[in-house]
Amino acid sequence: MDIRTSEHIGTIDRRSDLLDLLGDRDRAMLRAACEAVRLESGAVLYQPGANVDYCYLPLGSAIGSYFVEMDEGLAVETILVGREGAIGGVVSHGNLPAFARANVLHGGHFLRIALRDLEAVKRQSPAVDHLFARYADCMLAQVFQSIACNAVHTIEQRAAKWLVAAVERMGRPDVTMTQEQLASMMGVGRSYASRVLQRFKHDGLLRTRRGGIEVLDRAGLAGRACSCNDQVHDHFAKVLGQIY
């Protein structure tokens, strides 16, 4: 894993929407058990089969993602996790093997907590335990929606949905990603992804640059997407409040 720096959390002005749902006392208790690390895009948090020893909470514009590796050599993205969530050990008590690969999609700061420490905080704070239990429900909803989306919706709808979800989490319009990476994440060939992006460019919705995609018309792009993001938003709002 590529961890460039490790810093005291008090020196970093970054937000975790998930932790902001806690009261001051419970949030302070959890943050005290965390360390802040900066992870670069592409850093692998877990490989399939490896023990999950840490939970990571993306801060600010940082984004993590889960990928399922297929026999055909493709790694298909299942869900994105930004400042609204957490990666690893959300449900289990730790030291269990990871099923999917988890990695950093957009680099930035993360809070990292050893699962033994997270479980200790949960035992001391019913509010923290309750928060992670509810977030696990929201995470499962994302997985369900992703499965249904991949089975039913077009490549164009899925690409628009993914790009809108990414810029929402990052809070800025540029996404560090190549066309090859976008195609791999959606489980399609590069030529399919390229044609979709060319249509979006022609319609003034985005522009591409070396190693990145910049969304120019977020509302227009959202109009080309399926409603899967909205379905997930609604569930988060009901279960956790207005976390987005």
CA nearest 45: which of 93, 90, 9?
A: 90
- Give the range of the structural domain holding residue 82, as residue numbers without chain letter: 3-125
**Which residue(s) pair with 69 in the sheet?**
75
Strand partners for 147: none
- Over residues 80-127, the pLDDT tens digits come to 899 999 999 888 766 688 888 999 988 999 999 999 999 999 999 999
- Domain with residue 178: its CATH number is 1.10.10.10
Residue 43 falls within a domain, yes or no?
A: yes
Share of the chain above pLDDT 70, in %: 91
Q: For residue 80, how far is the Cα from the chain centroid?
A: 3
How many domains does one find in the chain?
2
Same domain assignment for residues 14 and 121: yes
94 plus 19 within the same structural domain? yes
130 within some domain: no
CATH number for 88: 2.60.120.10
- Please indicate, yes or no, whether residues 104 and 44 belong to a single structural domain of this protein: yes
Same domain, 181 and 95: no
Q: Burial-class residue 167 by CB neighbours within 10 Å (0-12, 13-18, 19+).
A: buried
Q: Are residues 169 and 114 in the same domain?
A: no
C-alpha closest to that of 181 among 212, 160, 221: 212
Predicted confidence (pLDDT) per residue in 139-189, tens digit: 999 999 988 998 899 999 999 998 998 888 888 888 877 788 788 777 788
121 and 77 within one domain:
yes
The answer to whether residues 95 and 184 belong to one domain is no
Residue 84 lies in a domain: yes
Is 133 within a domain?
A: no
